[in-house]
Structure 1
Amino acid sequence: MEFFNAIRHPLNRLATLSFFLAIGFVLVLLAGIQGSWLPVADGVIFGVAYLPRAVSKIVTTTSDYDLNFEPSASMQGIYIRETCQFITAFLTITALYLPFVLKHSHIITPSATVLTLVGGSIIFSTVYMLTSFFISQDEEDTLDDINTAAI
C-alpha cells in the first residue's frame, strides 16, 4: 500500500515525466547525429506543439466567480481557444509528417525517421501529461480550499 502512495506523490510523477522527456530528446538527438540536424528541429516542434493549447486553457478558464456578463468577452475567449487549438493541431501534424517528407527527399535515413517519430511522440505525450498534471493539480487545490472553508 505504501508503494502506491509513493507513486502518487507529485515529485515522483514529475521525476518520472522528466525521465521520459529526456529519453525522447535523446532519441531525437540520436536521429540528428545520423547526418542532418533537421530531426532535432522536428523534436523542438514536438516539444512546443502542445504549449498554445495549454496556454489557452489557463487564459480562457472561466470560473464560477466570473462576474463578467458581457457576451463579447466570452466570445473573445472562444476565439482565443479555437485559434490555439488550430495552432496546436497544425504543429502536431507538421511534426508528425516532417520525418516522412525528409525521408522521401533522402535527407534522413529510415532509422532516423523512426527515431524521430518515437522520440517526438514521447516528447509530445510528456509535455501533454505535464501540463495536464499541473493544470488539474491547481483545480484540485482550489476545490479542496473551498470545501474546507464551507465546513
Structure 2
Amino acid sequence: MSQSNGQQRPVPGSNTSTNSNGQTGQQRAGPNTSGQAGEVWDEERLEQGLERLKELHIQLRSLRTCIPRLLEPLTTKQPSPESLFREFTESTRVGTKEVQEFKHLMGDEETNKIFAQARKSRAENPDNIKPWRAMDHPDAFTRRT
C-alpha cells in the first residue's frame, strides 16, 4: 500500500532492500515458489522466464502478419496456375509451422509455470506494477543469439 507521501509501507513478513538503481523493493521472507513445493525462483530462473516471455511476444507479433503473408501469393500476378499453387502451398506451410510453434511454446509446462509465478507474484505484491511498453525497450523484438 502507498502512503500519501509516495512511500510504501513495509509489508509484515517481508524484507526491504535497495537495488542497483536506488529503488526500494520488498521481498517476502522464505522461498519464492510457483505453487510447487521446493521450486525456488532465483534471479537466474526469473531471467530465463523473461527470455521465454520475450520469445512468446516475438512469435505472437509475427503471427499478426500471418494471414496477410498467407494470402500474398493470391494478390500478386503469378506466371502460371502451377506457380500460384506452389507459392500458396509454401505460404500455407510456413504459416502453419509458425502457428504450431507458438501453440507448442504457449502450452509448454515451463510457460505455464512462468505464468503461475507471475500471477502469484502479482497477488503477493500488486502495488506499483507498471505496464510494459515495447517502445521503452528498443531490443524487445531482438532474439538473443
Q: Shared fold (TM-score greater than 0.5)? A: no
TM-score (norm 1): 0.36
Q: More strand per residue: 1 or 2?
A: 2
Q: Of the two structures, which has the highest relative contact order with CA contacts closer than 8 Å and spacing of 6 or more?
A: 1
Compare CA radii of gyration and give the structure with the larger one: 2
User: Going by fraction, where is helix more abundant, 1 or 2?
Assistant: 1
